[in-house]
Chains A and B, each alone.
Chain A
Amino acid sequence: MSRQSKRGVKKVSSIIFCTLVYLFLFLPIIVIVVNSFNATTSKPYLSWKGFTFDWYMKLFDNTALLSSFGNTILIAICSTLLATCIGTIAAVGMYKYKFKGKSAIDGLLYIPVVIPEIVLGISLLTLFTNTHIPRGVLTLVLAHTTFSIPYVIFNVRARLSGYDNSIEEASMDLGANRIKTFFNITLPVLAPGIGGGALLAFTLSIDDVIISYFTNGQTKTYPLKVMESIKSGVAPDVNALSTLILLGTVVLVILTQSGIFTKNKQ
């Protein structure tokens, strides 16, 4: 076999291989999208009964489903804000100052990242029951903030590794105080790391199943609503909402990514 045709075979086989992998990744998504247009009305909503837009219309009548989605967004926004503030300040503090117990804090940070989520879930459940904090939106926000903080810190820390301390000194020499320097000098430099961390925290919060499952009480988030509906067969309106969420995120990310990419390239 000539060298060129050998390379051709290699190229074709790698294209086939990648296509199969992508097919594997997207297959359930295709199932979700197709089923959101399924005209079936009987449980478990599996057999195909023709094409309809009905479920998208009916979605707006399903207040339980919509309010669970509202909860998800509310919890994601609150926990992302909290985790981003605490995490950013902590990352800068841990980078700038040396103090006793730093390695202990570092060690604690890795726990929520490496430990199976179920362990964090049940330990928070026991905490909330023992301290008599009623489980609901508040406990969900606290739990989501807990698993998000490390990711924010890691992202900001990665940005800090190339950080030049002398620009802060210059700012203070020119008469700015610590707080002014932090907001005018430190924050803008760290912005991409903070943004990346916040985006990750938001995504993790929206999709979280396991930790929410143990800390929710009567409050339902969208993933927990899905979990509940799985027992009786996922209704097409749940599929319709998932399709809309996916569409929304794709558009959102394309918009923000194209913005970030152009900024980074300068």
Chain B
Amino acid sequence: MSKHKMKSQTIPALTMVGPVTLWLAFFVAIPLLYVLVMSFCSLDSHYNVQFQFTLDNYRRLFDANYVQIYLQSLLIAFLTTLICIVIAYPFSFIIARTLSKKKAILYMLVIIPFWTNSLIRIYGWRTFLGTNGWLNNTLQTLHLTGAPIEFLFNRGTTVLGMVYCLFPFMVLPLYTAIEKLDTNLLEASSDLGARGKTTFLKVILPLTASGIFSGSIMVFIPCLGFFFVSDILGGGNADVIGNLIERQFQSGNNWPLGAALSIILIALTLLLVKLYQKCGGDMDSLGV
């Protein structure tokens, strides 16, 4: 390439990529680096962040109460991901294999509920499951139970809320992977004598594994941070890491500790994404 051509490309390249670079540097890179720095800072007597190096925040991360919440958070995320796979896989399979005209409608029906604000839908679950909610009223009218049952405010209802919020993020990649599946391969497999179960395990599952992986990443990671779901449906009995961070930045007012907790979340995310890439996952399929 001639020197002249190189130069003639520098200016358009700069004007096109410059704005996004500055934006990402200022609103993503610098703030995250600052959070890292802050996680090593201490607080003065007025709860202001003080630039004095300390490892105290990281020491506090090993507090037994916190460790218990990390484990609970991972358990909730794991159960949510598992339930999403188990329901979304056959579901995506059925809608992806439906004949053309109905397919678009069935697909749209998965998306439509998500045009209503997620908070109010989660609250809808609370209205439905509450002690004087619809379900309890129905059970009592049918004389199936005398006193109202407390369904709410535990890990189970938190998982329910998480599954509800994140279900489409499992359906979308699975649907894409299943739709790409070549029917000739399935026929070839059965022509060669494979039974349904063998075809599924040896042909269908490996070919759609990428969808399961990207779906799992898109469900598992947000689960760790969705503090409003555990607030509304868990009632403080099923906190996730997000709740711990939220408290430090709002009522707790200990930003350095909140920053250290965020670093855990960032580290976990990086670890999971690395694992995903190791399994051959494509980063672009995470963007929906």
Contacts and interface: CB of A to CB of B under 8 A. Distances in A.
Interface of A: 14, 17-18, 21-22, 24-32, 35, 46-47, 86-87, 89-90, 92-94, 96-97, 99, 101, 105, 108-120, 122-127, 130, 142-143, 145-146, 149-151, 153-155, 157-158, 178, 200, 203, 207, 209-210, 214, 222-223, 226-227, 230, 234, 238-239, 242, 245-246, 249-250, 253, 257, 261
B91 A17 contact: yes
Given A90-B19, A242-B120, A127 B30 contact: yes
A118 B266 CA distance: 11
Contacts of B232: 230
A149 B265 contact: no
B145 to A, nearest CB: 18
Given A31-B134, A118-B242, A230-B123, A178 B12 contact: yes
Contacts of A97: 9, 12-13, 16-17
B121 A32 contact: yes
Q: Which of A116, A126, A249 is most buried by chain B, counting CB atoms within 10 A of its CB? A: A116
A109 B226 CA distance: 21
B246 A154 contact: no
A233 to B, nearest CB: 9
Nearest to B128: A31
12 contacts: A28-B122, A86-B19, A94-B16, A105-B17, A111-B28, A116-B225, A123-B31, A127-B34, A207-B115, A230-B119, A246-B112, A246-B116
What's the interface size class on B, roughly? 35 or more
Given A90-B16, A116-B222, A123 B287 contact: no
A234 B104 CA distance: 34
Contacts of A113: 286-287
A87 B287 CA distance: 14
Given A28-B124, A245-B116, A149 B227 contact: no
Contacts of A123: 28, 31-32, 34-35, 262
B166 to A, nearest CB: 12
Given A31-B124, A97-B16, A122 B34 contact: no
Main DSSP-derived SS at the A contact region: helix
Nearest to A117: B225
Contact of B27 (A101, A124, A230): A124
Interface string B8-23: 0100110111011101
Given A113-B286, A119-B266, A32 B13 contact: no
Contacts of A105: 17, 20-21, 24
Contacts of A118: 225, 227, 242, 245-246, 262, 265
Contacts of A17: 90-91, 94
Contacts of B288: 151, 154, 200
A245 B113 CA distance: 12
Given A108-B29, A111-B28, A117-B225, A28 B265 contact: no
Nearest to A28: B124
A110 B124 contact: no
A99 B228 CA distance: 42
Given A28-B164, A108-B28, A130 B34 contact: yes
A124 B31 contact: yes
B206 interface: no
A209 B112 CA distance: 18
A257 B105 CA distance: 11
A249 B217 contact: no
Contacts of A120: 28
Contacts of A227: 119, 228
A207 B30 CA distance: 26
A111 B118 CA distance: 23
Contacts of A117: 222, 225
Contact of B125 (A28, A46, A101, A249): A28
Given A46-B132, A92-B16, A116-B221, A25 B95 contact: no
